[in-house]
Structures are given as C-alpha cells and as structure tokens.
Amino acid sequence: MKEIEKFIGDLLAIVKELKSLYPKKEFTLDGKLVGDIGEVLTEKHYDISLNTKLIKHYDAISNDGKQQVQIKATMKNSLTFPVEIFNGPGQIIADYLRDHMKPKTNLHNLSVAILQDLNKKVNSYQRVKSRK
C-alpha cells in the first residue's frame, strides 16, 4: 500500500504539470482535500485519534483523552508536510485575537509568522505529544 506522502507527491507533480501547460492558472490544492490530507498526516505524526464523526471545532482528541484538537492545513506558501505551526491551547490564539478588530465574517486570517510567534508562548506540557 502506498503511503500518503507518495500520493501527495503525485498530486503536487500533477499540479506542476498543469501549471506548465496552463500558465494563466494556479491549480492550487486547497479546500476539503487539503484539510483531509492535513488531518491524516497529523494523526500519523501526533498521538491523536481523528474523530469518526463531525464535531464542531474539533477534528481529533489526544490519545490520553485530555485535549481536543483542531487541525488546519494549507498548501499555500510552500508548506511541507508534516510541519507544526502552532501546537497549543486555542486560548493563546483567542487572547491574541481579542486585541484585534473582529472581521464581519468572524473568520480571522492569521499568517504563518503570527502562528509561529504564538507557538513560542506554549509550554511543553500544553502541547499534543508526537508519536514515538
């Protein structure tokens, strides 16, 4: 059976070929496909179990049962999987957003740099553990 990384490589090769054939288009991988890829890769590398059904705001639970986990993935800005941008309690992000204007849609857009900076504020005991 092929590993997920092989399939991702195949997808990226297809995108590259499409871009060379049709340079006016980006053929960006995004949406539900990238979200699902991110969730599977996260479960593979962290000590979590993905939810079997949809639970609002949470995609998984840590295997010790202590932490609900929300997973966000993107293929923009050349992120390589797996990569950890922020591994900590959502309250740290909520505290950061409290000091910023609330968008009309209530959907905040945080840059990778901001999330990396917020990640520095997370204590080791607050992080979801990696698989051994």
Digit-coded pLDDT (tens) for 41-55: 899 999 999 999 989
Residue 132, pLDDT > 60, answer yes
Is residue 93 a part of any domain in this protein?
Answer: yes
Q: How many domains does the chain have?
A: 1
Q: Find the distance separating the first CA and the last CA of the chain, reported in whole Å.
A: 22
Is residue 55 a part of any domain in this protein?
Answer: yes
pLDDT at 84: 80
User: What's the rounded Cα separation, in Å, for the pair 75 and 79?
Assistant: 6
Residue 33, pLDDT > 90, answer no
pTM of full prediction above 0.75: no
Is residue 131 a part of any domain in this protein?
Answer: no
Is residue 132 a part of any domain in this protein?
Answer: no
pLDDT at 81: 53
> Whole domain around residue 42: which residue ranges?
4-126
Is residue 115 a part of any domain in this protein?
Answer: yes
Is residue 74 a part of any domain in this protein?
Answer: yes
Is residue 15 a part of any domain in this protein?
Answer: yes
